[in-house]
């Protein structure tokens, strides 16, 4: 009750600052994120979900700039086809090249407000953004995957030196409230098993930012290992990360997991480049 009174008194005098454009704005009560979203609206379009969960953090104009992944897409790598007609099908690259990650999906395009939010969390320590961004990723999980076909969820790990420097693994931060969201979603009777200890980076790598496709692949080669293979044996695993670019990191993780006994490895990220 006290928190409601405090918010009612302060809202008119202290507007929110948009995390994308930097402008100040007042979030209308009718726009505020509704906790019942998890109970009845998780089948809504990603644009609708993004707008609702980002009400306190983005101005109305920036919330409209979110670009969701739209069909037709590759049924394996999830890349959007340039042609906006036709149905989902496997792209030429996935047909020609063997990939360890058999299903890759993302909530939106790595541009505009979504990119700004990821940068704010990842590089500027805006940890308050982890909850709404984690919710967005959770709804993408419900949209693209059958929970009964996922045994284990693993956030892509950081090297210990990078973890100490940043102070947190953004992929794990996105998963923090998933168990709570599952309990709030009354239609779903399931548990989520998250393991952030078994897969780890055994070799320090340079940042992938600015590297081309080939150098990215070389950079992460043999950079991951599994501490206890018995815990992933015959498991259907979902890897979580913030951004999917060339897929080099996710693919190297998937290869490591498959070679250590995992049955399948899928990937889900907040955003992906074109």
Q: What is the DSSP string of 57-109?
A: TS-HHHHTT--B--SSB-TTT-PBPSS-SS-----HHHHHS--S--EEEEEEE
User: Domains of the chain by range and CATH?
Assistant: 44-272 (3.40.50)
Q: How confident is the model at residue 42 (pLDDT cuts 50, 70, 90)?
A: low
Average pLDDT over residues 172-184: 91
What's this model's pTM, rounded to 2 decimal places? 0.90
Instruction: Report the candidate in 107, 69, 101 with the shortest Cα–Cα distance to residue 88.
Output: 69
| Residue for token pair 């990119």 | 115
Q: What is the enclosing helix (H) or strand (E) of 201?
A: strand 199-201
d(C-alpha 176, C-alpha 154), whole Å: 12
> Residue 234: left (phi > 0), alpha (psi -120 to 50), or beta?
left
Query: At 49, is the secondary structure helix, strand, or coil?
Result: helix
Give the N- to C-terminal CA distance of the chain in Å, as an integer. Answer: 45
Q: Say whether the peptide bond before residue 72 is cis (omega within 30 degrees of 0).
A: yes
Q: What are phi and psi of 68, to 5 degrees?
A: -80, 160
pLDDT of residue 261: 98
CA nearest 117: which of 274, 270, 272, 273? 270
Nearest alpha carbon to residue 132 among 107, 163, 102: 107
Angstrom distance (rounded) from CA 193 to CA 174: 14
The number of beta carbons lying within 10 Å of the beta carbon of residue 269 is 27
pLDDT value at 182 more than 60 = yes
pLDDT tens, residue by residue, 244-254: 999 999 999 99
Confidence of residue 189 (pLDDT cuts 50, 70, 90): low
Average pLDDT, whole number, for the chain? 89
Q: What is the largest CA-CA distance in the chain?
A: 61
């Amino acid at each position: 009750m006290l928190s409601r009174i405090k918010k009612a008194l302060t809202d008119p005098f202290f507007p929110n600052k948009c995390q994308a454009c930097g402008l100040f704005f007042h979030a209308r009560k009718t726009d505020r994120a509704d906790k019942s979203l998890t109970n009845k609206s998780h089948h809504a379009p990603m644009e609708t979900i993004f707008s609702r969960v980002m009400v306190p953090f983005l101005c109305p104009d920036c919330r409209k700039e979110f670009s969701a992944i739209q069909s037709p897409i590759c049924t394996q790598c999830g890349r959007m086809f340039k042609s906006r007609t036709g149905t989902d099908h496997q792209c030429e690259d996935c047909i020609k090249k063997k990939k360890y990650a058999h299903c890759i999906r993302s909530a939106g395009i790595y541009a505009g407000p979504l990119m700004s939010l990821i940068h704010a969390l990842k590089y500027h320590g805006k940890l308050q953004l982890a909850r709404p961004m984690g919710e967005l990723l959770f709804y993408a999980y419900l949209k693209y995957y059958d929970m009964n076909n996922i045994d284990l969820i693993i956030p892509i790990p950081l090297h210990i030196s990078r973890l100490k420097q940043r102070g947190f693994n953004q992929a794990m931060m996105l998963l923090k409230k998933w168990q709570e969201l599952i309990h709030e979603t009354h239609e779903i009777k399931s548990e989520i098993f998250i393991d952030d200890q078994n897969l780890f980076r055994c070799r320090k790598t340079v940042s992938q930012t600015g590297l081309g496709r080939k150098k990215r692949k070389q950079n992460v080669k043999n950079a991951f290992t599994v501490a206890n293979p018995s815990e992933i044996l015959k498991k259907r695993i979902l890897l979580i990360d913030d951004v999917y670019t060339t897929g080099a990191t996710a693919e190297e993780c998937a290869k490591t997991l498959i070679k250590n006994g995992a049955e399948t490895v899928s990937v889900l990220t907040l955003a992906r480049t074109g």
